[in-house]
Amino acid sequence: MDGIHDMGGMDGFGSVVVEPNEAVFHQRWESRVLAMNRAMGASGTWNIDVARYGIELLPPQVYLTSSYYERWFLRLERLLVQHGLVDTDEIAAGHALRPGRSVKRGTFTAADVDLVLRRRSFGRPAPTAARFTLGVRVRVRNMHPKTHTRLPRYVRGHVGVVERLHGAHVFRTRRRSAKVRALNGFIRSASMAQNCGE
């Protein structure tokens, strides 16, 4: 998806200020937003690609004026409503107005925290050999998908060299589809001059 979230190679947004000894969370609500997002991810109601796409759907003015965890919060609200787990009137009220609905993998308790925080492997057995090998020069496709992509805009159409093979991983062919296929992943590198279009 081509959107404001794909900021790699863009300028004009000011410098990145690194805070010395920066706290993990600046305010307590941020840790709660992280916990709710992790719990919902572990519930199986949606996957990581749907979650990423939820942030990519934020309007540019909202994306640019929201903090990292504000984006996560807005995404969570949207997905909870979209999947019928809460209604907009409950969000406006700030509390449940109806009994809760069940999620795919049931409810979690404090005893399940380790499970919820554990990251699953997205690696899969490769169905075929890698299409490219190390050291091969490749040109990155110049494509403009309507849904989530891991291909940044500043790399599209440029020539690079395969530096590393990552094996096969889950690749969602459609945003809402449960079908997955394994692709051999690799990194393409290009010179800064090529990336900047010089």
Q: What is the pLDDT of residues 119-173, one digit of tens each?
A: 777 777 878 888 888 888 888 888 887 777 777 888 888 888 888 887 777 665 4
Q: Identify whether residues 93 and 132 lie together within a single domain.
A: no
| Strand 159-172 relative to strand 137-139, pairing | antiparallel
Q: Identify whether residues 104 and 162 lie together within a single domain.
A: no
Greater pLDDT, 14 or 84:
84
Domain with residue 112: its CATH number is 1.10.472.20
Q: Identify whether residues 108 and 169 lie together within a single domain.
A: no
Q: Identify whether residues 75 and 154 lie together within a single domain.
A: no
Instruction: Give the integer Cα–Cα distance in Å for 138 and 190.
Output: 9
134 lies in some domain: yes
- Tell me what the mean pLDDT of segment 68-73 comes to: 96
Query: pLDDT band for position 113 (50/70/90)?
Result: confident
8 lies in some domain: no
Q: Identify whether residues 86 and 151 lie together within a single domain.
A: no
Domain with residue 132: its CATH number is 2.30.30.50
* Burial of 20 from C-beta contacts in 10 A (0-12 / 13-18 / 19+): exposed
Greater pLDDT, 161 or 107:
161
192, pLDDT greater than 70: no
Instruction: Give the integer Cα–Cα distance in Å for 9 and 46.
Output: 30
Residue 52 neighbours by CB under 8 Å, 6+ apart: 148
Least reliable range by pLDDT among 19-33, 58-72, 181-195: 181-195
Q: Identify whether residues 127 and 111 lie together within a single domain.
A: no
Instruction: Give the integer Cα–Cα distance in Å for 20 and 118.
Output: 29
Q: Within 10 Å of residue 52's Cβ, how many Cβ atoms?
A: 17
Q: Nearest 10 degrees: CA dihedral of 141, 146, 150, 154?
A: 50
Which range of residues forms the domain containing residue 58? Answer: 28-117
86 lies in some domain: yes
Q: Identify whether residues 41 and 101 lie together within a single domain.
A: yes
Query: pLDDT band for position 178 (50/70/90)?
Result: very low
98, pLDDT greater than 60: yes
Instruction: Give the integer Cα–Cα distance in Å for 51 and 70.
Output: 14
Query: pLDDT band for position 33 (50/70/90)?
Result: very high
Q: How many percent of the chain have pLDDT more than 70?
A: 85
Q: Identify whether residues 38 and 106 lie together within a single domain.
A: yes
Least reliable range by pLDDT among 51-65, 86-100, 124-138: 124-138
**Residue 124: CA atoms inside 13 Å, Cβ hemisphere, count?**
15
Greater pLDDT, 194 or 123:
123
The total number of structural domains that make up the chain: 2
Asked which of 100, 117, 134 is the last residue of a domain, the reply is 117
18 lies in some domain: no
83, pLDDT greater than 70: yes
Whole-number mean pLDDT of the chain? Answer: 80
Q: Identify whether residues 89 and 129 lie together within a single domain.
A: no
Per-residue confidence (pLDDT) for residue 96, from 0 to 100: 93
Q: List C-alpha distances in Å: 172 to 104, 149, 175, 181.
A: 19, 10, 7, 7
